[in-house]
Amino acid sequence: MDDLTALREFRAEVPDAAPEQLAEVRNRWTSAAESDTARRPRTTPATIGGRSWRAGPSRVGWGLAAAGGLAVVVSLAAVAVQGDYGSAPAPAARPPAVTTVSSTQVVLAMATKAEARTPEHPRPDQWIYLKSLVPHGDGSGKVQYRAVEDWWRVDGTKTARLGDSGKVEVSPAGLEGDDRSPAQFTSYLQSLPTEPKALLNRIYQDSGESAGSTRDEKAFSEILVLLRDATIISPQMNAALLRALTLIPDIRTTPDVVDVAGRHGVGISQVRADGTREELILDSASGAYLGFRSLVEDAAKMAATFQSMASQAPPKVVSSPSGSVVRESRVTPSPPTVHDGEVLHAGARVATAVVNKAGQRP
């Protein structure tokens, strides 16, 4: 094939942006441009003249426009940082890491085992079978775990699950929230560097939405979620994620922990500012992901965190039967009664395999 023809066809599927998307982009730069001109009213007296030059019917007040301008400045700064993933700025000064040498060695040994695994290359028309244990409240207040079985088509076009009736229900991949199809996940994983330091820097960049109150907490959550959800992961990337974990300060290992499926494994955990501890559980023989747990590390601290969060929450607004809105007075709920070491939340991957059809089990 002729090179220019091939080039013109490459990514030719990309359509023109929808008018709404272009209007949104327009608002982003015009708000900054408006605040430019607003700041210099004397040099350009007739420029704005009360007219809006934004698309859309309503005029945005100058206050809002200025705020929008600020948002653009912030996004420019963010772009500058994002454009340079591989050499992200060095982490800000922080207390010296106390990740012990021995826990680092344990995780690095797991990485070496994970790296020795045979890679999988499923075809786009195959399915990933996944059986996991998820928390399930039965109304008694005590958390139970139940098994769910899912199938994901590798190309990301369909998902299937075992319905309550026992029948396999196939549906088009309706990706909700940050759910990603196996193919999207694979692409994302392949876009990550395998050099541990570069990988951690990238994870710091990409984990802004992850659970946690600090950069290191968010990064730990992100790596945990990547290992939990990546049903197809190259041995190199699996190892790289574990090596990146060892670069996060204050990571602990516990030689023998039991997951919700009753399996023994190695725990890799991080104590959080809110008094909880997040724990990743790996199979000690293969380094493979088994499950995770969220535990109470310090019940008193957790109760204090809970109370301060509750007092910051906005008062609840409820509708009265007559339709008028009633504002409820702010009530601080009593802190949950928890004890040190209690498991708050957990999950486990019981089985995963590549199969040829939805509903098929390995």
Q: Which residues bind another protein (CB under 8 A)?
A: 1, 3-4, 6-11, 13-17, 21-22, 24-26, 28-30, 32-33, 36-37, 44, 46-48, 51-55, 72, 75-76, 79-80, 82-86, 124-125, 155-157, 183-184, 186-187, 190-191
Token pair of 311 as six digits: 């007092």
Instruction: State in angstroms the smallest separation of the CB of 6 from another protein.
Output: 5
Token pair of 67 as six digits: 């705020």
- Element spanning 255, H or E: strand 251-258
Instruction: State in angstroms the smallest separation of the CB of 236 from another protein.
Output: 12
The gap from C-alpha 320 to its chain's centroid, in whole angstroms, comes to 38
Phi (first) and psi of residue 302, to 5 degrees:
-65, -40
83 vs 323, which CB is nearer to another protein?
83
Nearest to 351 by CA among 132, 160, 166: 132
192 vs 295, which CB is nearer to another protein?
192
Is 146 within 8 Å of 134 (Cβ atoms)? yes
Instruction: State in angstroms the smallest separation of the CB of 194 from another protein.
Output: 12
Q: How far apart are CA 291 and CA 187, in angstroms?
A: 23
159 vs 246, which CB is nearer to another protein?
159
125 vs 179, which CB is nearer to another protein?
125
Instruction: State in angstroms the smallest separation of the CB of 326 from another protein.
Output: 41
Tokens 């088509």 label which residue?
A: 153
Instruction: State in angstroms the smallest separation of the CB of 21 from another protein.
Output: 7
Q: How far apart are CA 68 and CA 52, in angstroms?
A: 15
Token pair of 160 as six digits: 């299937």
Is 275 within 8 Å of 296 (Cβ atoms)? yes
Instruction: State in angstroms the smallest separation of the CB of 230 from another protein.
Output: 14
Instruction: State in angstroms the smallest separation of the CB of 294 from another protein.
Output: 31
Q: Which amino acid is at 291?
A: G
Provide the terminal-to-terminal Cα distance of the chain, rounded to the nearest Å.
42
The gap from C-alpha 254 to its chain's centroid, in whole angstroms, comes to 25
